[in-house]
Amino acid sequence: MGLFSFLTQEIAIDLGTANTIIIMNDKVVVDEPSIIARDRVSGRTVAVGRLAQQMHGKTHENIKTIRPLKDGVIADFHAAEDMIKGLIKMINKGGKMFQPSLRMVICIPSGITEVEKRAVKDSAEHAGAKEVYLIHEPMAAAIGIGVDVEEPMGNMIIDIGGGTSEIAVIALGGIVTDKNIRVAGDELTQDIEDYMRRHHNILIGERTAEQIKIEVGAAIDDLEVAPADYSVRGRDLVTGIPKEIMVSYKEIAHALNKSISKIEEAIMSCLENTPPELSADIFKTGIYLAGGGALLRGLDVRINRKTKLPVHVADDPLRAVARGTGIALKNINRFQFLMRE
């Protein structure tokens, strides 16, 4: 690079269903919800990220909010492209005389198809990237947690994001067995919405359900440190009038039980398919939890009860994947074999 390094801007992107994080020079420069708002008439992008999130569920007919990623993959190609462009603009706020060429490392779910990979690459290239490298999420999560992915030691990583839960056993810089299920944060939010409608006759929006998950979400109903009951406001389905009710973490644990059981089944299935030598390693090293889902109260305890293995929650699990993507970018020559250009 040397003399011309200022001509190239290197960025690492954790393109998530719920949030997109961009890292540049080892720093998180953008951390925004993966959502854009568009004008229906002109097709112009009105807002990206947090501003668009504030409009979600509150727009009039001329504006629609779009979440370009569904289940960890791009569902709306043009919206994804606009979103990536908008988020990159947030980094380059000071209008430069020229646009530096971009080198990007983007992390993708491990169960992604070739067509879906192509969509990610095309979106990044249309947003101005000259070089695009892709790295699998569990691998990025492992690097972000601080696991030495190149050693001949088996490590199990569970990354519960917004759209997908990725469970992978990693050794010698590769994914030995993996299981990718489309049950994750979004599904849990949906469970809460359904529960409120069925049990309390109250209609709530996605943002409120997400807030309930953050405030009183739990995976088990016998937490040692219980959060206080949370007041929920929504529309009464019988009278049509706004009303308020209180919910406890035990109710939410009950509401989320079915989806968490599916994640547990996937973990067991992945363990069953792990070669015996690596199973021996995992017995010693345990399971690492990353992604926003790792913040769910009592999830580590529940997985420990099911598998009888030690469960470690990553520091700042929300950003573990982004951190790993940033480290891979910084050591691009060392981790080249992990990335598909």
CATH hierarchy code of domain 185-255: 3.90.640.10
Report d(CA 60, CA 71) in Å as an integer.
26
For residue 23, the model assigns a pLDDT of 92
What long-range pairs does 239-243 form, CB within 8 A, spacing at least 24?
A: 243/202
- Residues forming CATH 3.30.420.40 domain(s) in the chain: 2-136+332-338, 141-183+259-320
CATH hierarchy code of domain 141-183+259-320: 3.30.420.40
Phi, psi of 107 (to 5 degrees): -95, 145
E strand intervals along the chain: 8-15, 19-24, 27-33, 36-39, 45-48, 63-66, 69-70, 73-74, 101-108, 129-136, 155-160, 165-171, 174-181, 202-203, 230-236, 242-247, 287-290, 311-313
Q: In whole angstroms, how far apart are CA 305 and each of 14, 220, 276, 308, 317? A: 31, 11, 21, 5, 21
214, 60, 50, 242 alpha-carbon torsion, rounded to 10°: -20
Q: What is the DSSP letter of 292?
A: G
89, 324, 33, 85 alpha-carbon torsion, rounded to 10°: 20
The pTM of the full predicted model, rounded to 2 decimals, is: 0.88
For residue 279, the model assigns a pLDDT of 96
Report d(CA 245, CA 18) in Å as an integer.
27
**Residues lower than pLDDT 70 in the chain:** 1-6, 93-99, 340-341
- Contact at 8 Å (CB) between 289 and 160? yes
Report d(CA 267, CA 155) in Å as an integer.
13
The CATH superfamily of 2-136+332-338 is ATPase, nucleotide binding domain (3.30.420.40)
- Residues forming CATH 3.90.640.10 domain(s) in the chain: 185-255
For residue 96, the model assigns a pLDDT of 54
Report d(CA 156, CA 177) in Å as an integer.
9
Q: What is the DSSP letter of 340?
A: B
- Contact at 8 Å (CB) between 332 and 156? no
Report d(CA 294, CA 159) in Å as an integer.
8
- Contact at 8 Å (CB) between 186 and 17? yes
Pair of tokens at residue 93 = 């706020």
Q: How many CA atoms lie within 13 A of 66 on its CB side?
A: 22
For residue 2, the model assigns a pLDDT of 44
